[in-house]
């Protein structure tokens, strides 16, 4: 019923697929590409250029923002990586000291600008771990995230962090059902805490919680107040994951007109919009985005690091490549996935296991001509590989032709189309592995060479395939056999 | 190292969590809630109202769009479910006839307005399956998706479908590297195919491919032409997943001013923005959204059905509930996940296994007072349950109090805070299961009752817990034992 139902192929097994290597100049794929007048991705400034018939022209990155916008920070942002704070609020997360340090070091090597840690007020071990990570001497700045309370602030500044992220709920919902404080009290406490942290010579951020359900005037008023007393950043938080992109744009843009300090945004992903909301926040002038690896956090979590990198890379690949060690992304995701015992989602941007697999015939054809046709991310920039899947009923003869050339076989286009029809017929019964496809192409090729086969001779092809199958079985059994057998993978 | 590292708890095991039932009026949780002056979600028109102190007032849904917009179709849209077309292009997908029929029936029962099937021109079996699904007599309309070509159109109309979705690549990329046709040829063929399908009395849609990299004037010109000859819908496709929400809004809004017919949008998810892009397209006036179950499709796929439902439910729960059988969502996702051998992502909106699990102390407290504080989706509307996780170092005494009440124990707030401190201390070493927490609370309670324990007596509590542990081990072994043992789950 399913391609892998017999357990003979794991999801990561590319046995049905053609790996497409565009980086080395050898091999028949490259010649196929050259014949079509394109060289795939080159190393042009904007990430995608195409050669041959336009070799002297640097084509503009077609995914870059089209109009310039003085507010936009799409190419000027910082990541606050919160796997060790928000991520610890994921139901499965329990990070011991060793794991926390491994994650912190990996994120530092990847190049995030900030790492945010659980409040040292949360537990004795949380405090000790915070101190231990501050002593690692990482390039990334270390923050810790506390409630807007002097007790927490005092504990935080003593851990050696580079900055403190202060948060308090400002929505009527949270004021009524959570802490029960009014705006006057919130403002007074915020000023006290911020001035205290500043007096210790480290960064301080003030964030509201549930910002999108807070009264706009209350919100702007407190942000303006803390901006005037010199807070480094104000934070907007979509704590419940209710915001949509245009709301995010409006709120950030409005806030951008009210404060001079940096603007951070923290976005939950309950409706799956956290990546797009982060992108839109940057367009509106936000400067710092909160992420966690794989998005882990409360409920379904927040903006995932990998997803954010994907959309920003699409907009400005050179900027993102210059900031981050992209080929580490998969390793970091695997580290965290293992620590919290989840699988990397099959549909994850960049590292989802089919993110660079092309299947439908028309897609495969164009990808082979020029990867930019159906790809906005260059897999090689992430240390990954592109595949074109051909052993299925949606396959097309251009993808099969590429494989024929890789195998070093000589077939005309008509012959390849004829062989493709047979692959589609067999794949209608069950998905064909790469081995199955290769065998069929070799049998087809030798039939043509020997004169036993011509285009359109379906019965002759079936006979040759049957003979090949019997020979294979005999070889496998170490003896000659002509008895009838159940249908083989390539079988007629 | 990890909470489940010993394999004694599966990810779906809620053993560390408190199930929170807000629908029945019995149990201590409800009394806890009532004491705080809120009744959680009630059945008000806008999905969220709160009772007790505001029982007569229907609070407006705080997630609904704030300003009315004559273009917006957030509460007036149709879903074109393409699991059996786009989903078949997912690398793992091989649907046999039986599976296709099971998926079609499930989607029909869920209530999607359209189901889109693979082109009958793709293979013989694809044609036969298309005919079989048309004969099922489903309420949902059946579409098939073809290349803009008369041969394909003739085969399609003979299958018995309710409509044909026609597509052709219009971007310079696809025109150069895929089909090689110019706009004049595309327009001529489109007119021929559309008039032919219309002459058969069934629906026809014309879509460009890679619309966001197509020349805007070319695009609007061909859409206007096909609109004038009476096409039912025009389609925009972000074939490579490069679009961002504000681009989507701009293109759909511009198109809305150019054509009278319906507007469909098909969005790939390479950068994780497909849900938000779909939402924004509806805001701009799109009428039909393409989805697939779990988003399966080429590469990382398209807008997922569940994610789209999540963000639209958040905006207008009553409308979404009136259209779709939401409690079937998990069943449909499991059906498709099994068919293509993937796991439902842990971070999936609605059905991700922690989507309704609350962990941090301040979250848990507020959730217990009023679920609207940290939830925009009512789990019961999807046949699911809310959990509050308490056996970890981020726990808070309000969540523990709720559990104390559920267990029927009588402790003062100070006693509960004292017991919470012990839970946090133990959870700093390893995550505590619900059983561990319950045992600790019972031991604490009986210590208080017997006078052996008072608030702050840490050593007395450790002694009682040690005694309890030894008794448990003795009971388990069927004999008395006072020998030293490794630290027990509740152990001192």
pLDDT digits (tens, 9 = 90+) for A192-219: 999 999 999 999 999 998 899 888 998 9
Measured CA distances, A87 to A93, A175, A294, B70, B333 (Å): 7, 25, 9, 40, 26
For residues A429-446, average pLDDT: 86
% of chain A surpassing 70 pLDDT = 79
- Token pair for B147: 């290349």
- Give the model confidence (pLDDT) of B191-226 as tens digits: 999 999 999 999 999 999 889 988 899 899 999 999
Residue B422: closest CA among B378, B480, B461: B461
% of chain B surpassing 70 pLDDT = 79
A392 → chain B, closest CA residue: B94
B213 contacts A62 by C-beta, under 8 angstroms = yes
Q: Which of A314, A354, A363 sits opposite B242 (nearest CB)?
A: A314
Residue A47: closest CA among A371, A397, A284, A402: A371
Cβ-based contacts of B173 with chain A (< 8 Å): 62, 366, 370, 372-373
Alpha-carbon distance of B404 to B411, in angstroms, equals 8
Alpha-carbon distance of A128 to A107, in angstroms, equals 20
- Backbone dihedral angles phi then psi of residue A254, each to the nearest 5 degrees: -60, -45
The answer for A21, left when phi > 0, alpha when psi is -120 to 50, beta otherwise, is: beta
Question: Are B365 and A270 within 8 A, CB to CB?
Answer: no
Q: Is the pLDDT of residue A32 over 90?
A: no
Alpha-carbon distance of A316 to A320, in angstroms, equals 6
Length of chain A: 492
What residues contact residue A399 under an 8 Å CB cut-off, 6+ apart? Answer: A18, A361, A364, A365, A368, A388, A390
Which pLDDT score, from 0 to 100, does residue A486 have? 35
- Give the model confidence (pLDDT) of A148-188 as tens digits: 999 999 999 999 999 999 998 777 666 666 666 788 888 99
B222 contacts B183 by C-beta, under 8 angstroms = yes
- Residue A25's pLDDT band, with cuts at 50, 70 and 90, is very low
| Interchain contact A177–B (C-beta under 8 A) | yes
Which pLDDT score, from 0 to 100, does residue B59 have? 53
Question: Are B96 and A1 within 8 A, CB to CB?
Answer: yes
- Token pair for A222: 């407190």
Q: Which of B124, B242, B428 sits opposite A428 (nearest CB)?
A: B124
Q: Which of A38, A122, A431 sits opposite B94 (nearest CB)?
A: A431
B33 → chain A, closest CA residue: A177
Report how many helices (DSSP H) and strands (DSSP E) chain A contains, helices first: 17, 11
Mean pLDDT across chain A: 83
Mean pLDDT across chain B: 83
B424 → chain A, closest CA residue: A123
Catalytic residue of the set A48, A363, A392, A445: A363
A283 → chain B, closest CA residue: B246
Q: Note the Cα A80 to chain centre separation in Å.
A: 17
Q: Is the pLDDT of residue B172 over 60?
A: yes
How many other C-beta atoms lie within 10 A of the C-beta of residue A327? Answer: 13
* Higher-confidence position of B297 and A361: B297
**Nearest chain B Cα distance for residue A473, angstroms:** 26
| Interchain contact A272–B (C-beta under 8 A) | yes
Question: Are A370 and B125 within 8 A, CB to CB?
Answer: no
Q: Is the pLDDT of residue A343 over 60?
A: yes
Alpha-carbon distance of B363 to A301, in angstroms, equals 13
Cβ-based contacts of B279 with chain A (< 8 Å): 244-245, 271, 273
Asked which of A51-55, A301-305, A486-490, B438-442 is least confident by mean pLDDT, the reply is: A486-490
Which residues 70-129 of A have a C-beta within 8 angstroms of B? Answer: 88-94, 96, 98-99, 118, 122-126
Alpha-carbon distance of B340 to B301, in angstroms, equals 13
User: Roughly how many angstroms between the first and final C-alpha of chain B, as a whole number?
Assistant: 19
Question: Are A91 and B389 within 8 A, CB to CB?
Answer: yes
Q: Is the pLDDT of residue A372 over 80?
A: no
- Residue A23's pLDDT band, with cuts at 50, 70 and 90, is very low
Which pLDDT score, from 0 to 100, does residue B44 have? 32
For residues B385-399, average pLDDT: 81
Alpha-carbon distance of A266 to A255, in angstroms, equals 15
Alpha-carbon distance of B441 to B390, in angstroms, equals 12
- Token pair for B5: 């590292």
Rg over alpha carbons for chain A, rounded to the nearest Å, is 28
Q: Which of B89, B169, B277 sits opposite A359 (nearest CB)?
A: B89
Q: Note the Cα A288 to chain centre separation in Å.
A: 19
């Amino acid at each position: 019923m399913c391609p892998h139902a017999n357990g003979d192929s794991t999801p990561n097994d590319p046995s049905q697929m053609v790996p497409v290597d565009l980086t080395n100049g050898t091999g028949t794929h490259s010649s196929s590409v050259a014949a079509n007048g394109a060289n795939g991705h080159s190393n042009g400034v904007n990430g995608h250029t195409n050669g041959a018939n336009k070799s002297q022209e640097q084509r503009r990155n077609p995914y870059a923002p089209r109009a310039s916008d003085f507010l936009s920070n799409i190419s000027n942002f910082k990541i606050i990586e919160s796997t060790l704070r928000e991520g610890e609020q994921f139901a499965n997360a329990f990070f011991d000291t060793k794991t926390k340090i491994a994650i912190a070091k990996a994120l530092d090597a990847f190049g995030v600008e900030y790492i945010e840690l659980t409040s040292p007020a949360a537990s004795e071990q949380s405090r000790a771990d915070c101190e231990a990570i501050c002593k690692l001497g990482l390039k990334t700045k270390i923050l810790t995230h506390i409630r807007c309370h002097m007790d927490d602030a005092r504990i935080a500044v003593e851990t050696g962090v580079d900055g403190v992220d202060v948060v308090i709920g400002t929505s009527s919902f949270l004021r009524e059902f959570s802490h029960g404080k009014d705006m006057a009290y919130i403002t007074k406490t915020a000023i006290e805490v911020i001035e205290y942290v500043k007096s210790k010579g480290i960064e301080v951020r003030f964030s509201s919680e549930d910002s999108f359900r807070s009264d706009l005037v209350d919100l702007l008023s407190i942000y303006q107040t803390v901006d005037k007393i010199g807070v480094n950043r104000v934070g907007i938080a979509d704590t419940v994951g209710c915001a949509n992109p245009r709301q995010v744009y409006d709120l950030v843009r409005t806030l951008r007109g009210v404060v001079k300090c940096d603007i951070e945004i923290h976005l939950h992903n309950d409706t799956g919009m956290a990546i797009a909301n982060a992108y839109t926040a940057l367009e509106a002038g936000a400067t710092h985005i909160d992420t966690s690896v794989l998005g882990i956090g409360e409920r379904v979590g927040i903006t995932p690091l990998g997803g954010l990198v994907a959309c920003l890379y699409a907009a400005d690949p050179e900027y993102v490549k210059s900031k981050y060690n992209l080929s580490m992304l998969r390793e970091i995701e695997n580290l965290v996935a293992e620590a919290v015992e989840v699988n990397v989602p099959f549909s994850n941007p960049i590292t989802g296991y089919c993110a660079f697999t092309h299947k439908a015939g028309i897609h495969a054809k164009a990808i082979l001509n020029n990867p930019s046709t159906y790809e906005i991310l260059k897999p090689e920039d992430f240390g990954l590989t592109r595949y074109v899947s051909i052993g299925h009923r949606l396959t097309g003869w251009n993808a099969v032709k590429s494989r024929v050339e890789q195998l070093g076989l000589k077939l005309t286009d008509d012959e390849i189309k004829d062989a493709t029809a047979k692959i589609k017929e067999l794949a209608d019964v069950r998905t064909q592995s790469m081995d199955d496809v290769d065998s069929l192409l070799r049998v087809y090729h030798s039939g043509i060479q020997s004169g036993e086969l011509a285009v359109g001779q379906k019965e002759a092809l079936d006979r040759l395939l049957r003979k090949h199958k019997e020979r294979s079985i005999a070889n496998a059994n170490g003896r000659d056999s002509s008895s009838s057998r159940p249908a083989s993978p390539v079988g007629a």
